[in-house]
Amino acid sequence: MPREIVMLTDVVGYVYAHPGPGWGDGRGPWDGGAGWWLIFPALFWLLVLSSLGYLIYRRSPTRLARSAAERVLAERFARGEIGEEELKQRRAVLRGRS
């Protein structure tokens, strides 16, 4: 046989004898499909990026200013300087629902 055919049969034989993770006969720890090792990295990065986005949102200047303004409104309502209707109306304006 020519040398190229022998090398090709060696490569094909190796591929069938040593399958990669997820492509085996189902008896090893990595056999039986792609499995969880594909899902966990995606879930990890989704969690990290979502947490980072939430922290940025919570620390945004607009959100902090709105929170401070609502605290002032609550204090004025507690002291009796404004009524309940005015409190609701001003909160709606602050939250953009006027």
In the predicted model, is pLDDT for residue 16 greater than 80? no
In the predicted model, is pLDDT for residue 18 greater than 60? no
Residue 4's H or E segment, with its range, is helix 3-17
pTM of the model: 0.43
Residue range 55-64: average pLDDT? 85
The pLDDT of residue 13 is 63
Residue range 29-39: average pLDDT? 62
Residue range 51-73: average pLDDT? 88
What residues have CB less than 8 Å from 24, skipping those under 6 apart? 30, 31, 32
